[in-house]
Homo-oligomer: A and B are copies of this chain.
């Protein structure tokens, strides 16, 4: 009797292009096989120097590992994934309307895709992480900003210009604080890193405690809450209630199977998830809430490279 050998998932290089560093990994079927060298975007400076260094690292990994079938890069900003164009990057100057995909293809000879980093993260959590391949998934990242991505009817949803999923720009208060892109009351303006710290500082002051901003970071607040500090606990409750209110609107609109919450702020854990769940329960109906998983992201900071690699592999199928 012969043993059938299952076909292997293709090898791919995933790239997570962040504001300060660019991370590389060799990935197969959602597993990191080997991590590449990281690039320091500030040290490299110009987009030309960054591009040269990216090409060099891709070539190095591909040479060391025969069988690399695709490359995927996730970048923070407005990315036209269909045409491979980086329209602009958050916090990295010099990348206006660059066809990064075609430049990489020309110089590496490897099938390549570029995409928004939140979409790469969403794809990774959906296929290999906390969302477990459910058909309708909302993925939220809580950090300096609030970003996100949508899996709808079993597909990464992009919208007209690849702009879908900007959960942090949706408003929870029509009369709320001004927001960068005009949507007053944008969720990001309440539950971003900095806003959490400022609010905590305010609440400590109201409680008669003069903490400085550094002592009010999400990490410090988590620690304080775990130690029983009532102010820190109350702040997480406020933040969770606001995130829950923003997500309730999405539940009414999209009736999802699963909401995945990741990013640095989500590290707070149950003290944040508990008011999020309670708020969504109170603000929706059982038919929406009872079949809804609200779970922490599973892949942590690896979601970017894993998702980018998977999007690279997914693009191969479209060509065959």
**Which residues of A are interface residues toward B (Cβ below 8 A)?**
78, 87, 135-136, 150, 152-153, 155, 157-167, 169-175, 181-185, 242, 245, 248-250, 252-257, 282-285, 287-288, 291-292
Give the distance in Å from the alpha carbon of A195 to the alpha carbon of B172 in the complex: 20
Sample of 5 further A-B pairs with CB below 8 A, known A167-B252, A183-B284: A150-B253, A163-B288, A167-B253, A172-B174, A173-B173
Query: CB distance A171 to B136 under 8 Å?
Result: no
Q: How many copies does the complex hold?
A: 2
Q: Nearest Cβ distance between residue A177 and chain B, in whole angstroms?
A: 12
Query: CB distance B183 to A249 under 8 Å?
Result: yes
Q: Which single residue of chain B is at the shortest CB-CB distance from A78?
A: B287
Query: CB distance A183 to B252 under 8 Å?
Result: yes
Query: CB distance B152 to A287 under 8 Å?
Result: no
Q: Nearest Cβ distance between residue A204 and chain B, in whole angstroms?
A: 23
Question: A183 contacts which chain B residues (CB < 8 A)?
Answer: 245, 248-249, 252, 283-284
Give the distance in Å from the alpha carbon of A153 to the alpha carbon of B157 in the complex: 7
Quick one: given A155-B153, A161-B288, A163-B287, are A171 and B249 in contact (CB under 8 Å)?
A: yes
Q: Nearest Cβ distance between residue A240 and chain B, in whole angstroms?
A: 13
Query: CB distance B174 to A242 under 8 Å?
Result: yes
Give the distance in Å from the alpha carbon of A183 to the alpha carbon of B174 in the complex: 15
Give the distance in Å from the alpha carbon of A211 to the alpha carbon of B81 in the complex: 55
Contact partner of A159 (CB less than 8 A), chosen from B162, B181, B254, is B254
Name the 6 nearest CB pairs between A and B, nearest first.
A159-B255, A163-B255, A170-B249, A166-B252, A169-B252, A183-B283
Give the distance in Å from the alpha carbon of A287 to the alpha carbon of B283 in the complex: 32
Q: Nearest Cβ distance between residue A39 and chain B, in whole angstroms?
A: 28
Give the distance in Å from the alpha carbon of A81 to the alpha carbon of B236 in the complex: 40
Give the distance in Å from the alpha carbon of A242 to the alpha carbon of B161 in the complex: 25
Give the distance in Å from the alpha carbon of A102 to the alpha carbon of B171 in the complex: 43
Query: CB distance B171 to A159 under 8 Å?
Result: no
Question: A158 contacts which chain B residues (CB < 8 A)?
Answer: 255
Question: A173 contacts which chain B residues (CB < 8 A)?
Answer: 172-175, 185
Query: CB distance B252 to A170 under 8 Å?
Result: yes
Q: Which single residue of chain B is at the shortest CB-CB distance from A163?
A: B255
